Amino acid sequence: MKSIIGLPIAALSLITLASCTQEPAKKSDGGKPTASSQPSGSHRGARQHVKSPLHDPREKHLQNIRQLTFGGENAEGYFNSAGTKIIFQARGGDTKFDCDQIFEYDLATQNTRLISTGKGRTTCAYYHDGDKRILYASTHLQGDDCPPEPDRSLGYVWPLYPSYEIFSCPTGDPSQLIQLTDTPGYDAEATTCYANNRIVFTSTRDGDIELYSMNGDGSNVKRLTNRLGYDGGAFFSTDGKWLVWRAYEPQGEDEIREYKELLAKNLVKPSKMEIFVAKSDGSEAVQITKTGNASFAPYFFPDSKRILFASNIDGPRLFHIYAIDRDGKNRERITYSSVFNSFPMFSPDGKHVIFASNRANKKAGETNLFLAEWVD
């Protein structure tokens, strides 16, 4: 998955073979993570940090918000099926990494450990195989260093690094890494269905950016989407019957030409994306947002009838979380604090939501993970 549109977390992506080492996060204050981070403003030409509240009174569905990470750029926190741990990607701060790596956080002990190898760039981690294994994508097979940033003279674009492959490692021993994909082109953005362990992921293996599914061991690959444009960032519903994702379908000759030219350079522009829903096999696909904005990071409510997603509907550089019915009706804004809120996910019991936000940060340009009780 990737973050969006030139905000401070723009390198966190729309965000590992050798050995996954384990590294505890630095602690202070009785074992709790150290503090850091926040958005920015300016005063008389100087860069000035503007602190936003941990909770805005208008956020009626969020209660007892708890900050989980403190400093650096942290995003895409996803629960295991037991709701006891989260997996996420991070860089900067106390991580000591300049490129995104995968970490696991224990909600009971507040301990954090490194899951990925610490090499290359990683993205899109998720639990699978009954919480016994962890999925993530990594570029480390092509080298230890971060892959180069894309050419920004082309505008704000996401890189589709062909060196990304999807890997799986045991939660108990991340060093025992296996490779699930091995095809030319980009393979990343993998999540799993806890109901049947089927994996959905994004790939350019057939010449376009499409969704595919596979078994937990990488076998039985099936293509789910088949139209020109970007399809990615997909999630299954809790029961495994539905699929939700973000998509960009270029319209008109100019958009189509630009899309193809960028794709040939392993790039895509994420400035116009809409949310789609389909059956889990990709059939009966329906577009449920039609705003012309950058909508992404969708996730089903536990009953599969509604969807949380992030978008800049209320301002080109203001990203907030919204809820919408599966048929596209009754859109509702959920977050208000800070300039960036995204990557929401419900806990398995539906009582909590985890999300990434700039709120309550102590430094400009940092993003942290937050856990809130959900109130209907």
- Average pLDDT of the residues in 186-213: 97
Q: How many CB atoms lie within 10 A of CB 153?
A: 6
Range of the domain at 90: 27-374
- Average pLDDT of the residues in 117-141: 97
The winner for highest mean pLDDT among 23-37, 45-59, 336-350 is 336-350
Among the ranges given (6-15, 110-119, 277-286, 287-296), the one the predictor scored with the smallest mean pLDDT: 6-15
Residue 45: band (very low, low, confident or very high) from pLDDT cuts 50, 70, 90: very low
pTM exceeds 0.85, yes or no:
yes
Condensed to tens digits (0 to 9), the pLDDT of residues 220-268 reads 999 999 999 999 999 999 999 999 999 999 999 999 999 999 999 999 9
Picking from 128, 129, 238, the residue whose alpha carbon sits closest to that of residue 191 is: 128
Residue 21 maps to a domain: no
* Distance (Å, whole) CA 222 – CA 240: 16
Provide DSSP, 1-54: ----TTSTTTT------S-----PPPEETTTEEPP--B-EEEETTEEEE-PPPS
Residue 16 maps to a domain: no
Residue 341 maps to a domain: yes
Residue 58 maps to a domain: yes
Is 70 exceeded by the pLDDT of residue 126? yes
Percent of the chain with pLDDT over 70: 87
- Number of domain units in the chain: 1
Residue 364: band (very low, low, confident or very high) from pLDDT cuts 50, 70, 90: confident
- Average pLDDT of the residues in 74-92: 97
Residue 22 maps to a domain: no
Residue 170 maps to a domain: yes
Residue 5 maps to a domain: no
Helix (H) or strand (E) holding 208: none
Is 90 exceeded by the pLDDT of residue 43? no
- Average pLDDT of the residues in 297-305: 97
Taking a C-beta distance cutoff of 8 angstroms, is the pair 287, 246 a contact?
no
Predicted pLDDT at 20: 30
Predicted pLDDT at 152: 87
Residue 128 maps to a domain: yes
Q: What is the CATH number of the domain that holds 275?
A: 2.120.10.30
- Average pLDDT of the residues in 152-167: 95
Is 80 exceeded by the pLDDT of residue 6? no
User: Going by DSSP bridges, is the β-strand pair 133-138/122-128 parallel, antiparallel, or unpaired?
Assistant: antiparallel
For the chain, the residue count is 376
Which tokens go with 344?
A: 């929401």
- Average pLDDT of the residues in 329-353: 97
Predicted pLDDT at 71: 94
